[in-house]
Amino acid sequence: DSGVTQTPKHLITATGQRVTLRCSPRSGDLSVYWYQQSLDQGLQFLIQYYNGEERAKGNILERFSAQQFPDLHSELNLSSLELGDSALYFCASSVGSGSLVTQYFGPGTRLTVL
Amino acid sequence: SQQGEEDPQALSIQEGENATMNCSYKTSINNLQWYRQNSGRGLVHLILIRSNEREKHSGRLRVTLDTSKKSSSLLITASRAADTASYFCATAPTSGYSTLTFGKGTMLLVSP
């Protein structure tokens, strides 16, 4: 158990819908990262927040947005969902934001778009 | 886009044998990390090697890094059935940010 929690574990929804994925980082971790894992794209970095502020952005679609709240939990919002958005979405956290930090991954949310 | 490319894509061995996985990457890095993922679960950090290091050990794991060839290898000695998992290399950029770029992974199957 990494100490990072994600809810829900599974999500099944229809195309065009909007969903929110939630992540609680390990106690004391200020950085939160979101990743998408799919069969064709592999594991892709989406976005990072550090202490409430956006720190880095990866291959995140405009239909997707995220935020980190004052209590440091984070939410990833996915809207206008398409079949291709079906994937495992992981949240990770780390103490700091430098390149030598260890990222601790949550168990993931499996999103299925029908 | 993927930075690292692992090789082989899949590896099947018997318990007790050694497993070697390779990773190649394209751009300069600050460090390279290896992660393990059990089927459909979260990734677990195994080891980090900095760009100025050539070799690092952790238990049954040995990682090497050759920055001139932009490649790394992960050796698991005396494999166990519990080592069955996918293994990913991930690179951290020289910019100092902690964002990681992952390869597509090697699936390791260790049979009893």
pLDDT in tens, B84-110: 999 999 999 887 777 889 998 999 999
Distance CA B94, CA B31 (A): 8
Instruction: Flag if B44 and A92 touch (Cβ within 8 Å).
Output: no
Q: Is B88 on the interface with A (CB under 8 A)?
A: yes
Q: Is A5 on the interface with B (CB under 8 A)?
A: no
Q: Is A102 on the interface with B (CB under 8 A)?
A: yes
Comparing A7-11, A41-45, A53-57, B95-99, the range with the smallest average pLDDT is: B95-99
pLDDT in tens, B20-69: 999 999 989 999 999 999 987 889 999 999 999 999 999 999 999 999 99
Interface test with A, best of B5, B39, B98, B106 (most A CBs within 10 A): B98
The mean pLDDT of A63-74, rounded to a whole number, is 97
> Looking at residue B4, what is its pLDDT?
66
Phi and psi at B66, nearest 5°, equal -120, 100
Q: How many CB atoms lie within 10 A of CB A13?
A: 16
Per DSSP, which regions of chain B are E strands?
5-7, 10-14, 19-24, 29-37, 43-50, 55-58, 61-66, 71-76, 85-93, 101-102, 106-111
Distance CA B10, CA B112 (A): 17
Instruction: Flag if B45 and A110 touch (Cβ within 8 Å).
Output: no
pLDDT in tens, A85-103: 999 999 999 998 877 888 9
Q: Is A89 on the interface with B (CB under 8 A)?
A: no
> Looking at residue B46, what is its pLDDT?
96
Helices and strands in chain A: count of H runs, count of E runs:
0, 11
| B26-29 contacts, C-beta under 8 A, 24 or more apart | B26/B70, B27/B3, B27/B91, B27/B93, B28/B67, B28/B93, B28/B94, B29/B67, B29/B91, B29/B92, B29/B93, B29/B94
Q: B109: distance to nearest CA of chain A, Å?
A: 19
Instruction: Flag if A94 and B98 touch (Cβ within 8 Å).
Output: yes
Indicate if the pLDDT at residue B2 is higher than 70.
no
Interface test with B, best of A7, A9, A32, A43 (most B CBs within 10 A): A43
Q: E strand or H helix at A33, and its extent?
A: strand A31-38
Instruction: Flag if A102 and B45 touch (Cβ within 8 Å).
Output: yes
Nearest CB to A105 within list B42, B97, B105: B42
State what percent of residues in chain A have pLDDT above 70.
Answer: 100
Q: Which two tokens stand for residue B85?
A: 């998992």
Distance CA B12, CA B107 (A): 8
CA dist list (Å): A18 to A79, A114, B106, B111:
4, 13, 33, 43
Distance CA A109, CA A20 (A): 10
Q: Is A2 on the interface with B (CB under 8 A)?
A: yes
Instruction: Flag if B92 and A99 touch (Cβ within 8 Å).
Output: yes
> Looking at residue B18, what is its pLDDT?
97
Of the two residues B8 and B97, the one the predictor is more confident about is B8
Q: How confident is the model at residue B1 (pLDDT cuts 50, 70, 90)?
A: very low
Q: Is A45 on the interface with B (CB under 8 A)?
A: yes
DSSP structure class, residue A25: P
